[in-house]
Amino acid sequence: MITYIKILIDSPEFLAQLIINGLLVGAIFALIAYGLALIWGVMDIINFAQGEMVIFGGYITYTLFYQFGIHPILTIPIVAVLLFVFGLFIYKTVIYRLLGEKDIFITILATFGLAILMQQLMQAIFGPDIVTANPELGMQFLFDGALIISNIQLVSFIIAVFVAIVLFVVMKYSRLGQTIRATSQNPRAARILGINIDRVYANTFAINAALCGIGGSLVVMIWAIHPFIGLVYTFRSFFIVILAGLGNFMGIIFTGMGISAFENVTGFIIGAEFQAAVIFCLLVIILITRSIRARKKRQYIQ
């Protein structure tokens, strides 16, 4: 462990490499986390199946690439539309029935069940193997080869930023975005003013699913996926949202990129196999410190 730290100190260009890689892919995590923050803020639901939706999007890209020969980058709009419809379907069949539920654990359990169902379905349909859909775009050598950036990371960063800008504009200026924001501020008042809350919720959940799908397409191009890796993405999005706070768009993007860079560096120092455990332990530590701080004021975090 100490030797790895020494390597990083001795060769700053390597550290820079790790951080830049982290920042580039961090935009993808930020997208996924933004979807979670959206449904958390608007519907007060946390989605344990977030990561599974990401993996599902990845599998769609993979299938379109290998079965139909569509270039992975071109599959992204298809995946977004398919996952949007999938989100609507899940909303109508599962989430819609739980909205009036006072016991929040019921909704959490439902998304937990959904996560397990999706894991097992994906394993049954796509098999348990690790798959990837790398479009082989080559590398970018900067500063005489001191920095190596693979083009796919660059492309996915650009796509993620593009999606984020579209999302920002939609949320800020379109009628849909206005109704979503109004509902999140006060559902009752929004309903009185003639907003169809049910449709807003359905759209919000579907947008979240579409964001997860886009994230998944990018993930399967950069790394590899298998049916049971979704939990890591779920944790990451929780982590980002909890650190940045709900409804803080820029905060989520920067936190996502920062966490990803941090993760890359710690992953190098203590070994990539502990990466998920590190994210989780950090998440728990942060929440516990917040909880202790709240307890001093006779409050609790909820």
Partner 1 sequence: MITKDKQNTLIWLGLAISAIVPFLFPNHITLLTYIWVMIILALTWDMLGGQTGYTSFGNILFLGVGMYVSAVVQRDMFSSGLDRFERVSEIVVNLNASEYFISLAVGTLSGAIVAVLLAVILGSGILGMRGHYFAICTLGLGHAAAEIASGIDYIGAGSGMVTPLYPRELLIGKEAFYYYAFLLVAVATFFLFRKIYQSQFGLALNAIRDNENKAESMGIHTTQYKIAGWSISAFFLAIAGAGIGNVIGFIDPVEIAFSGPTFGVWMIIMAILGGKGTIWGPVLGAVILYSAKETFWTYLLGWDKVALGLLILIVVVYFPKGILGYFKDRKQLNNSILSQKGEG
Q: Using CB under 8 A as the criterion, which residues of the chain lie in contact with partner 1 when the complex forms? A: 40, 46, 48, 94, 97-98, 101, 103-106, 108-110, 112-114, 116-121, 123-124, 231, 234-235, 238, 242, 271, 273-274, 276-277, 280-281, 283-284, 287-288, 291-292, 295, 300-302
Contact residues for 266 (Cβ-Cβ < 8 A; gap 6+): 275, 278
Q: How far is the CB of 59 from partner 1 (least distance, A)?
A: 15
Q: CB-wise, 93 or 140, nearer to partner 1?
A: 93
Contact residues for 231 (Cβ-Cβ < 8 A; gap 6+): 51, 115, 276
Q: CB-wise, 168 or 280, nearer to partner 1?
A: 280
Q: How far is the CB of 121 from partner 1 (least distance, A)?
A: 6
Q: How far is the CB of 38 from partner 1 (least distance, A)?
A: 15
Distance CA 137, CA 38 (A): 33
Token pair listed for 119 = 């894991």
Distance CA 140, CA 149 (A): 5
Q: CB-wise, 120 or 151, nearer to partner 1?
A: 120
Q: How far is the CB of 161 from partner 1 (least distance, A)?
A: 28
Q: CB-wise, 175 or 298, nearer to partner 1?
A: 298
Q: CB-wise, 161 or 287, nearer to partner 1?
A: 287
Q: CB-wise, 205 or 235, nearer to partner 1?
A: 235
Give first-to-last CA distance, the chain, whole Å: 37
Reduced to 3 states, what is the DSSP secondary structure of residue 228?
Answer: coil
Contact residues for 61 (Cβ-Cβ < 8 A; gap 6+): 72, 75, 76, 79, 133, 216, 217, 220, 221
Question: At 207, which helix (H) or strand (E)?
Answer: helix 197-222
Distance CA 196, CA 176 (A): 11
Q: How far is the CB of 215 from partner 1 (least distance, A)?
A: 19
Q: How far is the CB of 159 from partner 1 (least distance, A)?
A: 28
